[in-house]
Structure 1
Amino acid sequence: MKPKEDIKVMSDWFTFIINGLKSLGRHLNEEVVMKMLRSLLKSWECQDEDQEVCNLCLITINDPKELILRDNKLTKIPDVVIFKKLLVFDVSFNEITSLQGLSKASSTIKELYVSKNEVTKMEEIDHLHELQILELGSHKLRVIENLQNFTKLQELWLGRNQIKVINLCGLSCIKKISLQSNQLTSMIGLEECNALEEIYLSHNGIAKMEDLSKLVNLQVLDVSSNKLTSFDDIQYLTRLEDLWLNDNRLESLEDIAEGVSGSREKLTTIYLENNPCVRSPSYSNILDGLFSTP
């Protein structure tokens, strides 16, 4: 590397050489790669803003299946076009403001983690047909979009955003979804996702439990810290095991027996703390009755 060249110029040359050698059928081992890296000027030191390039230089030769670049102060999606067999790509805990650049990522990716950044739009992801896990929590997202091609998606994590409406684009295979700490006021939008096993909707402004009756595979339902006033639309959830209803506005337990009538054999946990109903003198007796053996 010449004295006035920066690390990005060096990286471009490094990638050009590696790709050229691969095209000729030459595969370098780790020892040779390290010799190439040590040929840099001894006075050069990797700065924080260049950490992305440092990491890519060190792993380029191996064409890995997992690329983990967490907490590296990245400000954009790195160019990973050279990695043709990626299965896991993780750029969480950085300073990325846009998903632009993901369109160049391999369509083989099955797990994509971009949590705790500053992204505002779900874009350049629709080619990831093999995706099974998508983590986009702790951003500034307002709309759920561009999911229609994810026919294999099983887990969607969108907590701590600014989403107001649930729109899952008919994801029939999804099993877990988290929309905690958003701006939801309704549960409508889940009814077509009948493979769902776990739903996390805590810390929103939801006032009514609805569109749940078709989710016959549901095992965990977390609607704590909302504005619920009654138990609705859960009597057909025969596989329900965990029900989180704490920190709501439930005044009475009159409907709870009917509400969990279908899940009594499976239900092992129900949280009702910090609701007005817990002040009822019959609170403990009613709950004991729910779990007592006939």
Structure 2
Amino acid sequence: MQNQTEPPPETNSDKDDQAMEFDLSSTTALDLTSFQLHDLDSVELPSSLTELDLTANRLSKLDPRIANLINLRKLSFRQNLIDDAAIESISSWGSLSGLEELVLRDNKLTKVPDVSLFKKLLVFDVSFNEITSLHGMSKVSSTLKELYVSKNEVTKMEEIDHLHELQILELGSNRLRVMENLQNFTKLEELWLGRNRIKAINLCGLKYIKKISLQSNRLTSMIGLEECVALEELYLSHNGILKMEGLSTLVNLRVLDVSSNKLTSVNDIQNLTRLEDLWLNDNQIESLESVAEAVSGSREKLTTVYLENNPCENGVPEACPKSGMVMETRLI
């Protein structure tokens, strides 16, 4: 047994330092999330970096060294203190020609920054800022696949119709009144427009879209969804919808949320054989029999119907149409 009182073997500090330097210089991903940094003066930025995450710091300016990271593919400034003046320098970062993901979420921006140099951009996130207009989006590369502009003050859907490759569009929690300029989004799969002021559905025939959220708007009708035949998830809660209609063609629908509306009956879903979750709570539905009849075609897949806060909820236990399906009066 080795004598435990012996000193540890000597180490070559020079070699250790060299090893550390070597490891750092070959680093491809640097995550500095929540380091509370005011600047990057004390941080080494290896030229090998492909991902740099600066989320949740106190940065109010951009370190010019980032402009020299020619291998960078993903860059996040999420949750910092960057304003319009600070972000301006990014418009001259031509060396980052391969950048694919730029996250500026939760800063102090009031306008869309100029990112026209990033010709390979796939993901662009400026959510949770103070942006009032989409002016400047026309300069964003047409390669973009995901655009996030939620929780701003945008009033109009504009300067985005060139984004033919777009798959996800997030404009929730803005001040939009009209759905427009969507006709070119033939590859769009997800559209998130909750918490706006939209009064009518206009989807311009988006046949490949899979998820739509129009929660907390000013809708009174469902008309306008008929051509979205690939739709799998539809969220329409917290509106003023009076009637379930225009749903019979949506045969791929798995989730339908029409809670917190003004519905008095359940209609037009008999063809939805793939339906799994149906949210009907907080409406004015009186007849459980009509609910059971409406979901008769969905019994193979349907697992839960939420009916809390409807006049019919008291009779739920007796109306359960099959043992595998739960007609639940409470949200779970």
1:73 and 2:104 are equivalent in the alignment: no
Greater Rg over alpha carbons, structure: 2
- Residue of structure 1 aligned with 2:316, choices 268, 283, 286: 283
Q: Measure, in 2, the Cα distance between the counterparts of 1:176 and 1:58.
A: 36
Deviation, structure 1 residue 48: 4.6
For normalisation by structure 2, the TM-score amounts to 0.72
1:180 and 2:215 are equivalent in the alignment: yes
Could you give the per-residue CA deviations for residues 70-106 of structure 1, whole angstroms, max 9, x where no partner exists?
Answer: 1111010000111110000000000000001000000
Contact 2:242 2:262 in 1 (8 A): yes
Q: How many residues were matched structurally?
A: 254
Long gaps (5+) in structure 1: 1-27, 38-45
SS of 2:138 mapped into structure 1: helix
What are the residue-to-residue correspondences of 1:70-109 with 2, within 5 Å?
70-109=105-144
Residue of structure 2 equivalent to 1:25: none
1:163 and 2:198 are equivalent in the alignment: yes
Could you give the per-residue CA deviations for residues 263-283 of structure 1, whole angstroms, max 9, x where no partner exists?
Answer: 10100121000111113xx32
Contact 2:91 2:117 in 1 (8 A): no
- Residue of structure 2 aligned with 1:34, choices 49, 53, 65: 65
1:225 and 2:257 are equivalent in the alignment: no
Q: Measure, in 1, the Cα distance between the counterparts of 2:159 and 2:67.
A: 34
Q: Measure, in 2, the Cα distance between the counterparts of 1:177 and 1:35.
A: 37
Contact 2:248 2:272 in 1 (8 A): yes
1:248 and 2:279 are equivalent in the alignment: no
Q: Measure, in 1, the Cα distance between the counterparts of 2:323 and 2:179.
A: 38
Residue of structure 1 equivalent to 2:158: 123
Higher helix share: 1
Deviation, structure 1 residue 52: 2.4
Could you give the per-residue CA deviations for residues 46-84 of structure 1, whole angstroms, max 9, x where no partner exists?
Answer: 975534236x37975333100101111101000011111
For normalisation by structure 1, the TM-score amounts to 0.81
Q: Measure, in 2, the Cα distance between the counterparts of 1:52 and 1:154.
A: 30
Could you give the per-residue CA deviations for residues 210-242 of structure 1, whole angstroms, max 9, x where no partner exists?
Answer: 011111000000000000000100111000000
Residue of structure 1 equivalent to 2:243: 208
Percent of pairs identical after alignment?
72
Long gaps (5+) in structure 2: 1-45, 50-63, 69-80, 326-332
Q: Measure, in 2, the Cα distance between the counterparts of 1:59 and 1:249.
A: 57
Partner amino acid, structure 2, of 1:270: V
Contact 2:67 2:93 in 1 (8 A): no
Residue of structure 1 equivalent to 2:306: 271
- Residue of structure 2 aligned with 1:190, choices 225, 233, 237: 225
